[in-house]
Amino acid sequence: MAATDIAIVGWAQTPSVERSTRTEPQLCMEANLAAIAKAGIDRHDIGFTCAGSCDYLTGGPFAFVANLDAAGAWPPIAESHVEMDGAWALYEAWVRIQHGDIDLALVFGSGKSSPSNPLELYPQQLDPYYLEPLGLDPLSIGAIQARALLDAGKATEADFAAAAARSLRDAMSNPNAQASGDHDPADLLKADYVCAPLRAHDVAPVSDGAAAIILATADRARALTDSPVFIRGIDHRIEVHQPGMRDLTSSPSTTAAAKKAGLNGSQIDVAELCALFTSQEVILRDALGLGASTTINPSGGPLGANPVMATGLVRIIEAAQRVADGTAGRALAHVTNGQGLQHNLVCILEGDR
Amino acid sequence: MAQPAAIIGVGQTKHAKARAELSMTGLCREAAVRALEDAGLDWADIDAVVIGKAPDAFEGVMQPELFLADGLGAAGKPMLRVHTAGSVGGSTVLVASHLVESGIHQRVLAVAWEKQSEGNAQWGLAGGRSGGIGAGGAFAPYIRGYMQRTDAPEYIGWQVAVKDRLNAMKNPYAHLQLPDITIEKVKESPMLWDPLHFLESCPSSDGACAVVIGDEAAAKAAPRKPAWVIANAVRSEPSTFPGRDAVRPQAGVDCAHDVYRQARITNPVEEIDVAELYVPFSWYEPMWLEGHDIAGPGEGWKMVDRGDTEMGGKFPVNPSGGVLSSNPIGASGMLRMAEAANQVRGEAGEHQIGGARIALGQAYGGNAQYFSMAIFGSTLP
């Protein structure tokens, strides 16, 4: 059975900030209510709700339970949750709508990282027997990956700085961005390393924030809006966990997911890539075969705003926004999960035919 | 429209207080390999892997599915991680089933697990650093509420505790093996959370469960009988709010009615042959019988008292021994689904209910606020 076209008809994100004074359910509530309002639907018409978050960010078991207060779960709702970025909640909802018995779904992703220290936290995301005892943090893995890329001759530190300068400049026009600025790449290269060969500009900030999307069947979408954004394909693939067993300079799971999602060499006008390090942008461009005709991360990407567990959903929102406003005819959103691009999702968006 | 889906392979570990000889991966593989063997399949036949477990804080590994991907053959494939509190094992089966029902995949491996011995689940259940009261402490007032509402005598809980432990003697995978358990022993065991005695509570277990869900073609090619997923539903409601009925949560009522409607069941107690219900504390058996409209108000405990829920009764509940006998938390919900499926497959071994054709699997979680249910049939309707 071929997948049915599903459309994005509403979306919203909170501003990404270093430390929000609001609770995670409050952040989710803001995003959910705004997405529902933008879609112009009654929340009681939503047939399935799916959320993505991670208990460890706030440091409490069952932290995700409180977010249910932002899902409008009374009367009770059909609802599920993934311990992953909200983009995978979108995938689960996209699968659920395929059954044909519901026509609207709410998906949201949220993360409040400010209560924890990411460098202490993330070693616990690694294999507890062989890697966690090494205390390997995401910055170190990112640096190992960047070093591998440099050693392979696939990129230079100047390439990284150019990506950072472009992203931070684009983020200046993104009202939700946490980091932005107009920098000369040559100046950026004068900064000290934070973890060689990475400098501060190469590393995404860590943000508090939430994002939400309303999905609709094609018929419902056309009744709701003149500019539905259709998900033409979506797929995701995971790779082995051990960084030493992967070629960190490539991302075969991204390539495989993109192929399955329908990326066939035709023009992609805008790509929102979940590059948490400038070096990952190089790897992802290569894995997706994106050339100079594709605008990369016009929102500024994760270097501007990185609400962990919603960063991926924000990529889909930013790509959808540009299809809806006519900037892009065809857009691609990429999302990653785990360290060193272990798990990748690709989603291809287009306007109505 | 949704395509038919069926459980075509089931596997579970021997559940125990500590499976110290196994890593987390080893534990999951013990169940997964058995499910694949049961389905007559190999790792390469699997299109996608869905992994479920309760809070990561129980073992102290954040998103452990990322490292489990290697050992569960997920590399190169889609992998999803589900977390819906105690109902997660049930939800994981449903997410996997949806991948097949939607026509996206043909054969999906679902694995749910907990290795409580590697962490401190009691600390986690009590909210970690926020210092809550734990599952028993949370549920005991609801149990008291049920007893007051229905005039249920205190020995009903003791009866369920004995019945499920004696059923577990017929299940070689069950953690607790208490052949000498009696009503008197349950009554005399220490009071943990009034009215719950020690022997009315589930154990802390290491364990995993796995199922292979296949489409119609995969089910027909399978070496053993499939369990058709003839209905499935989830419902959630907030943890607490004024006017919430925590004894009979509306989400549980709605979820049950959704699966009965899908399965065209109008009289559950007559039309369902056997049920595997998530009963971590003895009293939840009569509470769910009423909370899912299997019994009328105040009739659930009378079904227990009459022996209706024993293996030879008119509505057997938890012939496997249930959560009261094995509680690898994340896997406990999937075990309900797997045991219900095995009943209609005729694969339940010594705890098989003769002639079972329709079985209900149920799991709940959080503050009795998350529900996942499925009805399995021996034939495709």
Q: Which of B169, B193, B221 is the last residue of a domain?
A: B221
pTM over 0.95: yes
Domain count, chain B: 2
Nearest CA in chain A to B369: A76
Could you give phi then psi for residue B206, rounded to 5 degrees? -95, 135
Q: Any bridge partners for residue B6, and if so which?
A: B214, B228
Nearest CA in chain B to A129: B23
Measured in angstroms, the CA of A60 and the nearest CA of chain B are apart by 6
pLDDT at B381 over 90: no
Contact B195, B145 (CB under 8 A): no
Asked if B87 and B29 sit in the same domain, the reply is yes
C-alpha–C-alpha distance, residues A63 and A55, integer Å: 5
Reported confidence tier of residue A60, pLDDT bands at 50, 70, 90: confident
Residues in chain A with CB shorter than 8 Å from the CB of B255 are 76
* Angle (nearest 5°) at CA A348 between A344 and A350: 165
Tell me the pairing of strands A198-199 and B6-12.
unpaired
- Please tell me which of the candidates A3, A75, A77 has its beta carbon nearest to residue B104: A3
**Tens digit of pLDDT for each residue in B178-187?**
999 999 999 9
Tell me the pairing of strands A79-82 and A48-52.
parallel
C-alpha–C-alpha distance, residues A216 and A9, integer Å: 7
Q: Which of B189, B221, B253 is the last residue of a domain?
A: B221
Q: Are A241 and B70 inside 8 Å of each other by CB? A: yes
Percent of chain A with pLDDT over 70: 99
Nearest CA in chain A to B262: A101
Reported confidence tier of residue A61, pLDDT bands at 50, 70, 90: confident
Q: What is the mean pLDDT of residues B17-28?
A: 98
The 3-state DSSP class for residue A2 equals: coil
C-alpha–C-alpha distance, residues A11 and A320, integer Å: 9
Residues in chain B with CB shorter than 8 Å from the CB of A261 are none
Q: Are B77 and A78 inside 8 Å of each other by CB? A: no
Reported confidence tier of residue B131, pLDDT bands at 50, 70, 90: low
Asked if B21 and B146 sit in the same domain, the reply is no
Asked if residue B126 is part of any domain, the answer here is no
Q: How many CB pairs under 8 A join A and B?
A: 183
Asked if residue B1 is part of any domain, the answer here is no
Q: Which residues of B62-86 are buried (b: 16+ CB within 10 A; e: fewer)?
A: bbbbbbbbbbbbbbebbbbbbbbbb
pLDDT at B119 over 90: no
Asked if B215 and B281 sit in the same domain, the reply is no
Q: Which of B159, B190, B221 is the last residue of a domain?
A: B221
Asked if B178 and B95 sit in the same domain, the reply is no
- Please tell me which of the candidates A54, A56, A68 has its beta carbon nearest to residue B236: A68
Asked if B36 and B153 sit in the same domain, the reply is no
Percent of chain B with pLDDT over 70: 98
Structure tokens at B151: 């005039």
pLDDT at B335 over 90: yes
Q: What is the mean pLDDT of residues A98-103?
A: 94
Question: To which H or E segment does residue A187 belong?
Answer: helix A185-188
Chain-centre distance of CA A289, in angstroms?
19
**Tens digit of pLDDT for each residue in B196-208?**
999 999 999 999 9
* Closest to A211 (Cα-Cα) out of A290, A125, A272, A277: A272
- Please tell me which of the candidates B84, B94, B98 has its beta carbon nearest to residue A81: B84
Residues in chain B with CB shorter than 8 Å from the CB of A339 are 66
Q: Are B236 and A55 inside 8 Å of each other by CB? A: no
Residues in chain A with CB shorter than 8 Å from the CB of B104 are 3, 95, 98
Q: What is the mean pLDDT of residues B154-169?
A: 98
C-alpha–C-alpha distance, residues B82 and A114, integer Å: 24
pLDDT at B380 over 60: yes
Which residue carries 């067993």 as its tokens? A245
Asked if residue B272 is part of any domain, the answer here is yes
Asked if residue B256 is part of any domain, the answer here is yes
Q: What is the mean pLDDT of residues B244-271?
A: 98
Q: Any bridge partners for residue B372, and if so which?
A: B234, B363
Which pLDDT belongs to residue A40? 98
Q: How many residues does chain A have?
A: 353
pLDDT at A248 over 80: yes
- Please tell me which of the candidates A56, A78, A242 has its beta carbon nearest to residue B235: A78
Nearest CA in chain B to A88: B80
| Contact with chain B for residue A19, Cβ under 8 A | no
Instruction: Output DSSP code: residue B233.
Output: E
| Contact with chain B for residue A59, Cβ under 8 A | yes
Residues in chain A with CB shorter than 8 Å from the CB of B130 are 60
Question: To which H or E segment does residue B358 belong?
Answer: strand B358-365
The overall average pLDDT reported for chain B is 96
Tell me the pairing of strands B206-214 and B196-197.
unpaired
- Please tell me which of the candidates A76, A92, A343 has its beta carbon nearest to residue B250: A76
Asked if B147 and B217 sit in the same domain, the reply is no
Asked if B168 and B311 sit in the same domain, the reply is yes
The overall average pLDDT reported for chain A is 96
C-alpha–C-alpha distance, residues B259 and B231, integer Å: 5
pLDDT at B1 over 90: no
- Please tell me which of the candidates B55, B63, B102 has its beta carbon nearest to residue A62: B55
C-alpha–C-alpha distance, residues A256 and A263, integer Å: 10
SS percent in chain B: helix, strand, coil, step 5:
40, 20, 40
Neighbours of A70 (CB within 10 A): 24
Q: Are B236 and A126 inside 8 Å of each other by CB? A: no
Could you give phi then psi for residue A65, rounded to 5 degrees? -60, -40
Q: Which residues of A235-265 are buried (b: 16+ CB within 10 A; e: fewer)?
A: bbbbbbbebeebebbbbbbbbbbbeebbbee
* Closest to A290 (Cα-Cα) out of A314, A311, A316, A263: A263
Structure tokens at A89: 């909640």
Best to test chain A binding among B43, B58, B63 (most A CBs inside 10 Å): B63
- Please tell me which of the candidates B66, B103, B124 has its beta carbon nearest to residue A61: B124
Asked if residue B313 is part of any domain, the answer here is yes
pLDDT at A11 over 70: yes
Nearest CA in chain A to B50: A82
Asked if B210 and B198 sit in the same domain, the reply is no
Which pLDDT belongs to residue B121? 80
Asked if B32 and B156 sit in the same domain, the reply is no
Instruction: Output DSSP code: residue A208.
Output: B
pLDDT at B107 over 80: yes
Instruction: Output DSSP code: residue A58.
Output: H
Nearest CA in chain A to B124: A61
Contact A49, A71 (CB under 8 A): yes
Strand residue runs (E) in chain A: 6-13, 48-52, 79-82, 104-111, 193-195, 198-199, 209-217, 229-238, 270-272, 295-296, 330-337, 343-350
Residues in chain B with CB shorter than 8 Å from the CB of A76 are 235-237, 249-251, 254-255
Chain-centre distance of CA A332, in angstroms?
11
Which residue carries 């300068």 as its tokens? A165
Q: Is A59 exposed, middle or buried (0-12, 13-18, 19+ CB in 10 A)?
A: middle
**Tens digit of pLDDT for each residue in A277-302?**
999 999 999 999 999 999 999 999 99
Which pLDDT belongs to residue A1? 45
Asked if B232 and B366 sit in the same domain, the reply is yes
CATH number at residue B106: 3.40.47.10
Which pLDDT belongs to residue A2? 63
Domains, chain A, ranges and CATH? 6-116+206-224 (3.40.47.10)
Q: Are A61 and B128 inside 8 Å of each other by CB? A: yes
pLDDT at B129 over 70: no
Q: Are B77 and A131 inside 8 Å of each other by CB? A: no
pLDDT at B329 over 80: yes
Asked if B210 and B326 sit in the same domain, the reply is no
pLDDT at A353 over 80: no
Q: Which domain holds residue B324?
A: 131-202+227-377
Asked if B55 and B161 sit in the same domain, the reply is no
**Tens digit of pLDDT for each residue in B92-101?**
999 999 999 9
**Tens digit of pLDDT for each residue in B301-324?**
999 999 999 999 999 999 999 999
- Which segment of A1-5, A175-179, B240-244 scores lowest on mean pLDDT? A1-5
Neighbours of A80 (CB within 10 A): 27
Q: What is the mean pLDDT of residues A204-232?
A: 97
